[in-house]
């Protein structure tokens, strides 16, 4: 600040301080003197960046936010002034879509993957059903004969969602919108199914996983990378390499004054952390006894509106993601990776309303349409459950023995309603959230192991008898309640999904020409459900980025084949430390 401005400001204050004491009591004069002295010590007209203000706020803190008055830029702050006109700010970010560059990057990956797949085509000979003739290809392209659910192993099918995530990310990190990037995910999936895999059926499940699941995963991955890139913490900025596409494309544009991924986050509203701790629960080798295990997670819940959760009023529609979530969970028992879990959620369309007073009282609300991807896989203990045996070698499956599959589920939750509301009262916060989706899932049949002990299964659905899972549709319902007071937070959640099998579209539904292929003659309807619920408590350690946390969870499973039903209950206990990013 220039000395002349500071002298003028101090002069005005001194004049007021000279005349006002005549009208005050002795106690009042003392108090006024202390207030004036504090004001003079703290007085500044320099710009304190919004980013720096956020870094001082405790995550989840809803105390009154100070108003930053500024007429000049702080010489010690290297951020860009928010007082720039919007047009100038956007020019410095240079956020023009790089469609050509996105296309080249996608083409490079697709060419490599396509060449590698064709070189190794003989490994997938069990998938060959069409020849390179006009008759066969006409049936593939212009009839519904080739539209089938494939017979591949579970791990091959759920990884298609991560392929769609890569297609999506090429576009999103080159400044294309969510809706434009979705075309990359959908287009990449259709190209692969129709042209690259020209010998095979056009897999319905692969298109759903790659195209729709890839959008949820890709957007959540993009938002996490952008958040870490803009973090005030060095560790978090380093972890932005978790999205190398964002880092690479930002490097290509490094000569621009300001990154296209620059974004101001209200850090007090975000919840991004690493978890490391103890988990007591069963393992695949002994599914009925709880044992001690190591748990590791990366979780993120991000709100892109810079004013969400801060004092002020908001009432507006949004057509770009307001909320995103990306979770990765791993459990280890010794050297064995016992479980893998992944969740991705986005809410790209809806309305946000907020009215929070300067003293931290009020509410925040958003409602809209969201989409989600979910994955849960237990470690297989047999070769057939691990997908190591192809379907054209049925003798290797040893069907004379009862099956021994482990639980697994990969699901794409299509577009559905999402509502979240939060109420603030000083240091208290109450948050409620409900979601509902129509869901497509590849789910392990819980009763299959028991059913196979006394019943023949070789005439059932292909993926069921070979790999233990089947394709299904059903509803998904999720809810969350959270109470927070200062550094203490309590949560309770519930996720419930119910599936009914899809009939009549098995890849080998009517296959009778190959003696190594078992046709589907028992296309019975299958049912399964999964209810995951739990509670947690967390305490943030003062002055640090660490929290201590504990939680109890339970997973209830139910399934039915014909009249044979089975139920299971798995309990989990977590204790550990979170590190906020």
pLDDT tens digits, 275-324? 999 999 999 999 989 999 999 999 999 999 989 999 999 999 999 999 99
- DSSP assignment of 372-419 equals EEEEEEEPP-STTTTT-S-TT-GGGG-TTSPP----EEEEEEEEEEEE
Average pLDDT on 483-502 reads: 97
Report the alpha-carbon distance of residue 360 to residue 405 in Å, rounded.
52
Please state, rounded to an integer, the average pLDDT across all residues of the chain.
Answer: 85
Q: Which two tokens stand for residue 532?
A: 């995951």
Hunting for tokens 């259709």 — which residue is that? Answer: 190
pLDDT band at 514 (very low <50, low <70, confident <90, very high): low
> For every residue of 452-481, which 3-state class applies, written as one string?
HCCCCCCCCCHHHHHHCEEEEEEEEEEEEE
Own/partner pairs, 302-307, CB within 8 angstroms, 24+ separation: 302/223, 302/224, 302/227, 302/265, 302/270, 302/272, 303/265, 303/266, 303/269, 303/270, 304/223, 304/263, 304/265, 305/266, 305/352, 306/50, 306/263, 306/264, 306/265, 306/266, 307/266, 307/354
Report the alpha-carbon distance of residue 429 to residue 387 in Å, rounded.
47
Report the alpha-carbon distance of residue 448 to residue 403 in Å, rounded.
7
Q: Which two tokens stand for residue 212?
A: 């729709």
- CB-CB neighbours of 409 under 10 Å: 23
What percent of the chain shows pLDDT beyond 90? 67
β-pairing, 46-47 vs 72-73, is parallel
**Pick from 252-256, 305-309, 339-343: least confident:** 252-256
Helices marked H in 242-349 — which ranges? 244-252
Average pLDDT on 178-183 reads: 95
Please state the pTM of the whole predicted model: 0.84
Helices and strands, number each (H, E), in the chain? 15, 17
Is residue 227 within 8 Å of 301, Cβ to Cβ? no
Report pLDDT for 15.
42
Nearest of 77, 410, 409, 433 to residue 271 by alpha carbon: 433
């Amino acid at each position: 600040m220039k000395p002349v401005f500071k002298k003028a400001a101090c002069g005005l204050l001194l004049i007021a301080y000279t005349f006002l004491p005549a009208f005050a009591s002795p106690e009042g004069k003392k108090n006024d003197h202390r207030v004036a002295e504090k004001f003079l010590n703290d007085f500044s007209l320099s710009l304190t960046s919004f980013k720096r203000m956020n870094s001082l706020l405790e995550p989840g803190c809803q105390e009154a936010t100070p108003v930053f008055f500024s007429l000049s830029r702080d010489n010690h702050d290297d951020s860009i002034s928010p007082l720039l006109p919007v047009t100038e700010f956007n020019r410095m970010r240079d956020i023009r879509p790089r469609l050509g560059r996105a296309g080249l990057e996608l083409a490079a990956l697709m060419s490599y993957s396509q060449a590698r797949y064709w070189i190794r085509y003989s490994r997938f000979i069990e998938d060959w059903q069409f020849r390179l003739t006009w008759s066969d290809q006409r049936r593939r392209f212009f009839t519904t004969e080739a539209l089938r659910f494939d017979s591949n192993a579970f791990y091959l099918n759920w990884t298609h969602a991560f392929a769609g995530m890569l297609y999506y990310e090429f576009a999103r990190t080159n400044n294309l919108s969510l809706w434009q990037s979705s075309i990359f995910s959908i287009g990449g999936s259709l190209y692969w199914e129709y042209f690259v895999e020209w010998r095979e059926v056009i897999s319905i499940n692969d298109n759903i996983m790659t195209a729709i699941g890839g959008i949820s995963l890709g957007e959540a991955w993009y938002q996490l990378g952008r958040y870490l890139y803009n973090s005030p913490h060095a560790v978090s900025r380093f972890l932005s390499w978790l999205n190398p596409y964002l880092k690479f494309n930002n490097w290509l544009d490094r000569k621009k004054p300001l990154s296209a991924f620059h974004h101001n986050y209200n850090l007090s509203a975000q919840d991004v952390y690493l978890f490391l701790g103890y988990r007591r629960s069963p393992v695949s080798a002994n599914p009925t006894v709880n044992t001690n295990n190591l748990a590791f997670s990366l979780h993120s819940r991000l709100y892109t509106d810079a004013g969400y959760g801060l004092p002020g009023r908001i009432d507006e529609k949004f057509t770009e993601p307001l909320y995103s979530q990306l979770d990765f969970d791993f459990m280890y028992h010794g050297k064995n990776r016992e479980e893998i879990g992944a969740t991705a959620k986005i809410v790209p369309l809806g309305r946000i309303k907020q009215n929070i007073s300067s003293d931290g009282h009020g509410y925040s609300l958003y409602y809209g349409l969201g989409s989600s991807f979910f994955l849960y896989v237990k470690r297989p203990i047999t070769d057939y459950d691990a997908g190591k045996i192809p379907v054209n070698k049925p003798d290797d499956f040893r069907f004379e023995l009862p099956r021994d599959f482990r639980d697994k589920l990969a699901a794409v939750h299509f577009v559905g309603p999402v509502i979240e509301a939060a109420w603030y009262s000083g240091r208290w916060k109450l948050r409620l959230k409900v979601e509902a989706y129509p869901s497509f899932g590849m789910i392990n049949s819980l009763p299959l192991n028991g059913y196979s002990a006394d019943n023949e299964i070789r005439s059932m659905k292909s993926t069921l008898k070979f790999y233990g899972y089947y394709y299904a549709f059903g509803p998904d319902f999720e809810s969350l309640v959270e109470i927070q007071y200062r550094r203490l937070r309590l949560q309770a959640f519930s996720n419930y999904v119910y599936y009914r099998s899809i009939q009549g579209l098995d890849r080998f539904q009517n296959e009778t020409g190959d003696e190594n292929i078992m046709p589907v003659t028992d296309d019975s309807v299958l049912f399964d459900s999964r209810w995951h619920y739990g509670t947690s408590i967390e305490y943030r350690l003062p002055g640090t980025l660490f929290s201590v946390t504990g939680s109890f969870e339970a997973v209830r499973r139910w399934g039915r084949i014909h009249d044979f039903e089975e139920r299971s209950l798995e309990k989990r206990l977590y204790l550990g430390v979170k590190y906020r990013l």
